[in-house]
Amino acid sequence: MEINDIKGMYTLKIDLIRNVVYETPRNYWKHEDYLRLHNEYVTKVVPLFNGKPWRKCCDLRTYHISMITEDIQDHVKWGSKNGFIGGVIIIDSSNPATSAIALQMKLGTKHIDFDTMVCESLEEANLWLESRLP
């Protein structure tokens, strides 16, 4: 299943075999962008997992650092109560803002003990995700 944001800010691809959401946020985000994304998880994504644990692969190579850290924290807290057990983020190490983006994601999960990894390619992310399958 694939979900595309009406404003082009994200794409969600759901792998129901491995219980993984491939999330690709794009550009600079505002609170209303977060609200649309979160609503997709509440109404469409999480119900697909039928209470089973799930992970996220978040490709941040086209995301721009945004003032939504509290929104990310709220989403992660909600997710942890709804089966979200961790995931991997993909970054572009040649992007000067990468360290700020990685810090924002770390702050977003600081109160939750997740199994996470940071990498630079989808191939590397999938290898890590495969190693986590039951």
pLDDT over 80 (residue 5): yes
pLDDT surpasses 90 at 134: no
- pLDDT at position 65, please? 76
Overall average pLDDT of the 9-33 stretch? 96
> What mean pLDDT do residues 82-96 have?
87
* Range in 19-23, 61-65, 83-87, 105-109 with the lowest mean pLDDT: 105-109
- Which residues neighbour 121 within 8 Å (Cβ) at sequence distance 6 or greater? 90
Per the model's pLDDT, the better-predicted residue between 115 and 35 turns out to be 35
pTM score of the predicted model: 0.89
Q: Is the pLDDT of residue 34 over 90?
A: yes
pLDDT averaged over the chain? 89
Return d(Cα 82, Cα 15) in angstroms, integer: 17
Decide if pLDDT at 114 tops 90.
no
Beta strands at 27-28 and 10-15: parallel, antiparallel or unpaired: unpaired
Query: Of 15, 43, 16, 13, which is closest to residue 25 (Cα–Cα)?
Result: 13
